[in-house]
Amino acid sequence: MTGRVRANGEGSIYPYRTGYAAYAWVTKPNGNRARKYVYGKTEDEVRDKIGNVREAAERGPVATSSMTVRAYALNWLEDLIRPNLAPATYAKYETFVRRYIIPGIGSKRVDRLTVRDVQTWLNKVRTTCQCCAQGKDAARGEAARCCAVKPRRCCKDLPAPSSVRAIRECVRSMLSAALTDELVTRNVAALVKLPHGRARQTQAWTSEQARLFLDSARRDHDPLLALYVLVLVLGLRKGEVLGLCWSDVNTDSGEVHLTRQLQRVGGELLHRDLKTDSSSARLPLPDIVVAALKQRRQDQSADQDTAGELWHTTDLVFTTRYGTPIEPRNVNRSFTRRCGLATVPTITVHDARRTCATLLVDLGVHPRVVMQILRHSKIAMTMEIYSKVTSDQTRDALRQLGDALGWADDDQGE
């Protein structure tokens, strides 16, 4: 008696534990041939799965095993991010992986991660107090103020919308690498939806407020006066100013060459090259900057004489009274304190850089020139500043429009 003709590959299905199993020969991403096993409770279930495997094998390489999100994320950080991206970027991604990704979806298999998995997890991140989730307040011990106090008084430390978007982008970048490694067939993080949160409303001084700030610093002989001038007049970033070396400054020809920055990353103070080619530039020095830098050199020489043997010799323009690099956070504190002494609105150091851009806009400088001064990589970044004009400009523009339309006040009553 002739038996039933089996479909192609059906003979590889066999009983296994409480169900059935099967395997198919596939080519792995590394080029080697290996068996790919599938399991199911019924023969039909296994038959469908092994059929999908064979179809995938015809299209290209197939992974025979899959890592968890935790394992892949850790490998991704060490093999791709640390060697190829800036230390600050690695530190940011490492924080996202350790604090959010591993606790949230770390136990899931990379190849089985779904859009719903990532969407549900990010929704939870958005609505979870991170002080509670990460035990931030509990680590303070007796100094605990909120979430570790019993009865519990949650501080509702929810992550900002921009932080949630940055976490999603981290997962998206990681899964993009997994896609290249052929561990997944699509990037599910790219399909996740997040609400459009409002960006932080940045501030900028008027020219009068900027003048009051610098006058206050000059009157009190503030050791960071030259730093404030460089930020407000040239629009330099905090790290660029702190990383500036005397060898890159020529007060005789009135030029500065920006090449390096100073950053604290992962507990280490790094003096490193600027992130992009567009950030590196030669800029002319206006007279006010030249004067401030000459005064800074005199002050630094006086500090060296006072410190004597305790002086640390570096080429940095801005140093402590012992010649060591200045901590970036100390610049923030000094800047905030000077805002109070000058009785001007308190803004951040980066907002002072935006003030430079705003003042250039008010002076009618062409966007392309502003882009060159601020060393933006894209004109869209510069035009975003141009879109936030002052209220006086708005009022004047609308007045001109009204005049052009020819509707005078005494015409309205006729």
Domain assignment of residue 404, yes or no = no
Residue 9 in this model has a pLDDT that exceeds 50: no
Residue 177's nearest CA partner among 54, 74, 35 is 74
Same-domain pairing of 121 and 40: no
What was the pLDDT predicted at 412? 46
Angle between the 349-362 and 379-386 helix axes, to the nearest 10 degrees? Answer: 80
How far is 278 from 284, CA to CA, in rounded Å?
Answer: 16
Same-domain pairing of 141 and 223: no
Place of tokens 């490492």: 94
3-7, 51-55, 70-74, 344-348: the lowest-pLDDT one: 3-7
CB contact at 8 A, 184 and 175:
yes
Same-domain pairing of 172 and 281: no
Strand pairing class (33-40; 19-27): antiparallel
What was the pLDDT predicted at 329? 93
Average pLDDT, the chain: 83
Same-domain pairing of 246 and 273: yes
CB contact at 8 A, 281 and 258:
yes
What was the pLDDT predicted at 4? 43
- Residues 345-385: pLDDT tens digits? 999 998 888 888 777 777 667 677 777 777 776 767 666 66
Separation of CA 293 from chain center? 31
Same-domain pairing of 50 and 79: no
How far is 354 from 67, CA to CA, in rounded Å?
Answer: 45
Q: What is the mean pLDDT of residues 119-127?
A: 94
Same-domain pairing of 73 and 40: no
Residue 190 pLDDT grade (very low, low, confident, very high; cuts 50, 70, 90): very high
- Which stretch of DSSP H or E encloses residue 26? strand 19-27
Domain assignment of residue 375, yes or no = yes
Domain assignment of residue 399, yes or no = no
Query: Does residue 199 or residue 2 have the better pLDDT?
Result: 199
- Which stretch of DSSP H or E encloses residue 166? helix 161-180
Domain assignment of residue 1, yes or no = no
Place of tokens 């570790």: 148
Domain assignment of residue 403, yes or no = no
Query: Does residue 305 or residue 56 have the better pLDDT?
Result: 305
Residue type present at position 66:
S
In sign, the C-alpha dihedral spanning 382, 384, 390, 394 is: positive
Where is mean pLDDT largest: 239-253, 354-368, 395-409? 239-253
Same-domain pairing of 222 and 106: no
Query: Does residue 414 or residue 161 have the better pLDDT?
Result: 161
The proportion of the chain whose per-residue pLDDT surpasses 90, expressed as a percent, equals: 40
Instruction: Return the CA Rg of the chain.
Output: 30
CB contact at 8 A, 197 and 122:
no
Same-domain pairing of 307 and 377: yes
How far is 115 from 45, CA to CA, in rounded Å?
Answer: 24
Residue 197 in this model has a pLDDT that exceeds 90: no
How far is 7 from 81, CA to CA, in rounded Å?
Answer: 47
Domain assignment of residue 296, yes or no = yes
How far is 219 from 203, CA to CA, in rounded Å?
Answer: 25
| Contacts with 314 (C-beta within 8 Å, 6 or more apart), sequence order | 323, 324, 325
- Residues 85-100: pLDDT tens digits? 888 899 999 999 999 9
- Coil, strand or helix at 16: strand
| Contacts with 70 (C-beta within 8 Å, 6 or more apart), sequence order | 101, 102, 106, 107
- Here the CATH number for the domain that contains residue 86 is 1.10.150.130
Query: Does residue 136 or residue 330 have the better pLDDT?
Result: 330
Total number of domains constituting the chain: 3
Same-domain pairing of 318 and 293: yes
Same-domain pairing of 230 and 300: yes
- Here the CATH number for the domain that contains residue 384 is 1.10.443.10
Phi and psi at 13, nearest 5°, equal -80, 135
What was the pLDDT predicted at 82? 92
Strand pairing class (255-258; 249-250): antiparallel
Residue 232 in this model has a pLDDT that exceeds 70: yes
Residue 103's nearest CA partner among 86, 125, 87 is 125
CB contact at 8 A, 353 and 373:
no
DSSP string computed for 320-357: -TTSPBPPHHHHHHHHHHHHHHTTS----HHHHHHHHH
CB contact at 8 A, 222 and 228:
yes
Domain assignment of residue 248, yes or no = yes
What was the pLDDT predicted at 377? 67
How far is 204 from 357, CA to CA, in rounded Å?
Answer: 9
Q: Which two tokens stand for residue 134?
A: 């990460």
- Coil, strand or helix at 284: strand
Q: What is the mean pLDDT of residues 256-278?
A: 79
Residue 340 pLDDT grade (very low, low, confident, very high; cuts 50, 70, 90): very high
Same-domain pairing of 361 and 267: yes
What was the pLDDT predicted at 384? 67
User: By residue range, what is the domain housing residue 247?
Assistant: 207-393
Q: What is the mean pLDDT of residues 308-337?
A: 94
| Contacts with 225 (C-beta within 8 Å, 6 or more apart), sequence order | 214, 217, 218, 292, 295, 296
Residue 293 in this model has a pLDDT that exceeds 50: yes
182-186, 360-364, 396-400: the lowest-pLDDT one: 396-400
Residue 214's nearest CA partner among 317, 284, 288, 286 is 288
What was the pLDDT predicted at 372? 73
Residue 116 in this model has a pLDDT that exceeds 90: yes
How far is 126 from 393, CA to CA, in rounded Å?
Answer: 38
Domain assignment of residue 196, yes or no = no
Residue 11 pLDDT grade (very low, low, confident, very high; cuts 50, 70, 90): very low
How far is 233 from 285, CA to CA, in rounded Å?
Answer: 9
Residue 220 pLDDT grade (very low, low, confident, very high; cuts 50, 70, 90): very high
Q: What is the mean pLDDT of residues 247-267?
A: 87
Same-domain pairing of 153 and 264: no
